[in-house]
Amino acid sequence: MSAPRRTGAGLFAADRAHTPLGTWLKIASSEPVEIMAYAGFDFVVIDLEHAPLDLQTAYRLINSAAALGMVPLVRVPDTTASTVQKVLDAGAMGILVPHVDTVEQAAAVGRACRFPPYGVRGAGGTSRAGAWGLRPDADYRATGNDDVLCIPQLESAEAIRSAPEILALDCVDAVFVGAADLSLSLGTTPASAEVLAMIGSAAEAAHAVGKRLGLAFGGVPERAAHAVREGCDFVLLGNDTSMLAGAAHGLVTAFRKAEAH
């Protein structure tokens, strides 16, 4: 008997014992994926927007993450249907889409994630997503329409204003508020009252229609835990490069202090 197949939708299952916790992957190697799995992360987001990763590398990282029991998501570098198609055919269980400002943009991305009649995604049943043609077509199509997560990133005041309409779309499963870019667009900081109010507004819009809102907090788990108590539904902490940099810098700094004594 084969092991149960994890899906993107399963990340938000109502019976989960804890908040889904993920991290970003920016290193073009499978070892960080293994480390994140052994550390206990629930999901990873392979970052094609802010890291020098290509589709072939993402393909390998998706497979590693899924094999290790994590949900592999991909932050796509653009909103074209061809990019979304290739990422999902590679086996990604969902996508994060940067800078979605309007309901029209969200609808276009959502349609790219879904098969007809719900969208425009082309059939690629002989890809990894279709188990190389070994999965029944009906199962392959149902998974694409029901189990793949479409998560627009809200990163501007316009996006926050559009949040109720975006979240009302059947093809959108959750939203991720990019607080860094949102604050940058407003000329303020992620911790400002203005940004926090906008995040709260987006969370209310998500919860009003039974959907999820996610945030990233770098290496500050206490802030993330506080946000969860305030209504955040899934969290990203750190990334592989920053974890390595922080550990390396801390080790060198500790040695130099000890050496000086």
Q: What is the pLDDT of residue 243?
A: 97
Q: What is the pLDDT of residue 144?
A: 82
Mean pLDDT of 3-31: 84
Q: What is the pLDDT of residue 4?
A: 42
pLDDT of 195 strictly over 90: yes
**Distances 112 to 36, 85, 143, 149, 232 between C-alpha atoms, Å:** 29, 7, 14, 12, 27
CA 58 from centroid of its chain's CA atoms: 14
| pLDDT tier at 8, thresholds 50, 70, 90 | confident
Contact 194, 224 (CB under 8 A): no
pLDDT in tens, 31-51: 999 999 999 999 999 999 999
Question: Which domains occur in the chain, in start order?
Answer: 19-260 (3.20.20.60)
Tell whether pTM > 0.85.
Answer: yes
pLDDT of 61 strictly over 80: yes
Kindly state the percentage of the chain with pLDDT values over 90: 88
Interatomic CA distance for residues 224 and 219, integer angstroms: 9
Interatomic CA distance for residues 153 and 132, integer angstroms: 31
The catalytic residues are: 50
pLDDT in tens, 111-139: 999 999 999 999 999 999 999 999 999 99
